[in-house]
Each structure stands twice: as structure tokens, then as C-alpha cells.
A and B are shown apart, each in its own frame.
Chain A
Amino acid sequence: MGIGELISTYGEIYLQSLMKTWGMTLISFCLAMIIALVITVMRVSPMRPLRMAGDLYVQIFRNIPGVSLLVIVVYALPYLQLTLPYETCALVTITLVVSAFASENLMTGINTIGVGQIEAARSVGLSFGQILRHVVIPQALRSVVLPMTNLLIGTLLTTALASQVPLNPPELTGMVNYVNSRSVGGIGAFFISALGYAGTSVIIGLIGNRLDQRVRILR
């Protein structure tokens, strides 16, 4: 089956799977950012147990292969009386992994802020929370737009993990199996999915660059 034929036969469901990939990327990235913010605040807090818990979280989820983590979420959580739908399992896995990397990005961003600014904020009388909210986090976020853009592309590609569980409709990678189990699509079926990933990545990259230039802090 040629690519033209594949598209005419499966075009609509390819589009659905692209939407699924986009949706999963968006949901897991947004959740991961929120979790990363919480974890990062823990990691810079004055309380040692919080810092240790935050560091531990990052070490665990940064260092487990996504597929292994997915297996754990799918097969181990039911032992804890927690059986999640397959798509949720995939989302949880991706979110955990991405949040660990996002927290590392944020830590890098925090390290770009001179200790002097924090001392200045303290000497003005701002509390720890106010310093985080008004001085540290806004600057950290603005200085990590490019690494976060990379991570968003990474998230997009990581959603391919979900091809290991049955979804309906499948996401882009699962779609290849779907097509190839019904027709002889061969490499062409992969190619169409790859176009979906590559096109999205290019767009994300462009938007990330523009955003970075707009919010970058003059130093």
C-alpha cells in the first residue's frame, strides 16, 4: 500500500490519533509543570525533610525507564486496589517522568538568579513565600523557556509509550500497529506518524523560540 492509498484509507483515523497524541502531550505536560513547581519549591525550602523528599522524587522518576514505569503503573497499582484505565496509566507515567525533568530545569533556572537578589528581597522584608512568588519563580520560569520547549517536544515523543497499551483511538505510534495489522502499510505507515511528530515538534520549537525572545530577562 502506498502512502497516498494509506492516507485515503486511514486519513481520518490518523487525524484522530494525532489529536490523541496532542491531547496526551498537553495534559501530561501541564500536570507535570504543576507537580514540578511543587517539587521544586520543596527542594529549595528551608526544611530538610521537604528538600530530601523533593530530591528523592526527582531521582526516582528521572531514573526509571518510561516503559518500566508504565508496567509498574499498569500491573502493580491494582495490587494497591487502584486500577486505572489504560489511558490514565499512560498519562500518569508520562507525567511522573516529565515532572522530574521539569523540576531539574526549574532548579537550573533558580540557579541563574543571583543570591544577591534574594538577599535584597530579604532585606526589603519579603517572606520566604513572597520571595519565591515575586522574585524566584517568575525569573526561573522566564529563563527556562528553551529547556522547557525541549521538554515539551520530549513529552510529545514520550507519549509513544502509550502504544504499549490498548487505546481507542490509538495515539500516533499505536496507530502504526493498527494500520499494519489491517493492511500491508509497511514503512509508509510509520512515515505518516513520523510526519505528525516532526511537524508538531517544529511548530513547538518555533513557538518556544519566539516566547523565549519575548520573556527573556535582560542581564
Chain B
Amino acid sequence: MTEDQRIDTVSSTHDAGAQPSIEHAASSAAEQSSSSVPTIEMRHVDKHFGDLHVLRDINLRVEKGEVLVVIGPSGSGKSTLIRTINRLETIDSGEILLEGKTLPLEGKELAALRSEVGMVFQSFNLFAHKTILENVTMGPIQVLGMPKKEAEEKAMELLKRVGVAEQAAKVPAQLSGGQQQRVAIARSLAMNPKAMLFDEPTSALDPEMINEVLEVMVELAQGGMTMIVVTHEMNFARRVANRVIFMADGQIVEEDTPANFFDNPKTDRARDFLDSIKGH
């Protein structure tokens, strides 16, 4: 990516931050699809775990500002799919590109790339021995070389944004699951990521804590963040997703707008799956 493009994308992020409507975010993402490089692109990606073919010829484009929800039965490869994007899983063949650049294999470039793609895990994975504030400042200080004071100010701002600023001096075990997950989101945001990946971010939460996390994610989406979210939260998908992909047996079986997909699934597999999760 050239310097000009970079400046351009940064400024457009700021524009998008000025409270656009959901429709606006969706349409701007659609507009860009024809003109600019996608933020994330997967081309013919295959992966095996031993004999198990977990990803089969995955092709995917996620445009800047787009929110993509990945849905599917367990074992369908949806977690593996997003974990390949910041290379927590390797791939056997195919190509993954970030803003048009191929994913580096190892070393410093890979670490740099990982810092540009935020990742939020099902089990929060906060650093247990660090305070909440330190959890958020570690990346900026160690990876971006930000001065400690600046990093702390920025971290407090982010913690305020996700609503856990008053917990800054505590350690993770003293927080509820919902609070921990919001801290994990702040930790990712502190790196100014170009995209955020969410791997079932609410699956480990008690029901009463799911919404507080989803709210933060909705705000992020409306702020123009490029997101891939593995989740079964249909209301979330309907509210903010531009697109839903349905995976089964390592393949993308169906791809559609949330309204079309949830109301009118085209394949039997998707219909069966939706029936099974609507029960709860």
C-alpha cells in the first residue's frame, strides 16, 4: 500500500467515526468493494488437521468498514477460519491478504501484522498477572514503543469507552466475564487495528453479561471498524452485519445479507441449523 492510500484510509476511518447510520456504514462498504483493495482477502485457502479437511477452498473478501458474521455448527471450521487470518493457525495452501499484501510467514513482519489485526477470544485470555490497565498498555508500550504515560492515557480512554475505567487497578480475576471481555476488546483497540476478529466473544458469558459486550461491538461496528465475528447472536447479526456467511464441513455454504439469510435460508443445512439454534 502506498503512503497516499494509507493517509486516505486513515481519514476515511475518522469520517466513519462521526456516528454514521448503519445503512451508511453498509453502503459505504459496498461502494468501496468495487474500487479499493479489500481489508481482508482469502483466496483458495485449504487447511487440514491430520485427516480432517477443516477449510476447503475458502474464498472471501471483507471490505473496509464491513461487518461479516460467520455462523455454523461446531466443527464447521469457523473459528479456524478467523484464526488463520492472523496466523494463529497456519494454512496448507492458498493465500491470505491484508490490504492487498500477502500474510508474512514468520518473524518481525508477522508480529507487526498481528498487531494490525485485533483478536478477541471466547475465553477473554487477559494476562492474569497484570492489572487491567497494564493489560491494555502492554501492546502499545512493547510493540509500538509508545511512552508509558501516553499509553496509559490512551488505555484509560479506551477503558472508559468500553465502560470499565473504574476497574483499571484490579487484576482480571476480580472482574466479571463481561467486564473481562470488554477489557479484551480495549486491549485490541489499543493497537489501532485495521480489522478486528471476534471468536465467539459471548459464548463463555453468563446470559446477563452478553448484552454489555454486544453493545460495545455494535458501537465499534457503527464506528466503521472492519470486523469478522464468529457468533450465534442473531440479533447482533441482524443489527450490524453487512453479510452473513454460513459454514459447514469447512466450506462456505451460503453467503447473504442477514435478513435474507435468517428469514430465507437457501440450503437445507442452513435451515436445519437455524431451526436448531432458534430453540434457545
Contact = CB atoms under 8 A, between A and B. Distances in A.
Contacts of A127: 108, 111
Interface residues of B, number: 31
Interface residues of A, number: 22
B121 A122 contact: no
B52 interface: no
B202 interface: no
A138 B134 CA distance: 14
Interface string B129-145: 10000000011001100
Contact of A120 (B129, B142, B184): B184
Interface in A67-125: 113-114, 116-117, 119-125
Contacts of A114: 123, 125
B128 A125 contact: no
Nearest to A128: B111
Interface in B166-196: 171-174, 184, 187-188, 191
A209 interface: no
A7 to B, nearest CB: 47
Contacts of A138: 129
B127 interface: yes
B108 A122 contact: no
Contacts of A139: 127-129
A170 to B, nearest CB: 43
B86 interface: yes
A126 B128 contact: no
Contacts of B123: 114, 116
A120 B108 contact: no
Contacts of B88: 119, 122-123
A160 B112 CA distance: 52
B127 A120 contact: yes
B42 to A, nearest CB: 18
- Which of A113, A119, A120 gathers most chain B CB within 10 Å? A120
Given A218-B171, A218-B174, A123 B128 contact: no
B54 interface: no
B117 interface: yes
Contact of A123 (B86, B172, B173, B174): B86
A119 B121 contact: yes
Interface string A114-155: 101101111111110010001100110010000000000000
A126 B127 CA distance: 13
Contact of B114 (A117, A122, A217): A122
Contact of A117 (B86, B125, B174, B188): B125
B119 interface: yes
A120 B121 contact: yes
Nearest to B140: A124
Nearest to A219: B173
19 contacts: A113-B128, A116-B124, A119-B125, A120-B126, A121-B127, A122-B86, A122-B114, A123-B119, A124-B139, A124-B143, A124-B191, A125-B143, A126-B139, A126-B142, A126-B143, A130-B142, A130-B143, A217-B129, A218-B172
Given A124-B138, A126-B142, 12 more contacts: A116-B123, A117-B128, A119-B88, A119-B125, A120-B127, A122-B111, A123-B88, A125-B139, A130-B142, A130-B143, A134-B138, A218-B173
Interface of A: 113-114, 116-117, 119-127, 130, 134-135, 138-139, 142, 217-219
* Top 3 A-B pairs, shortest CB-CB distance: A125-B115, A218-B173, A116-B125
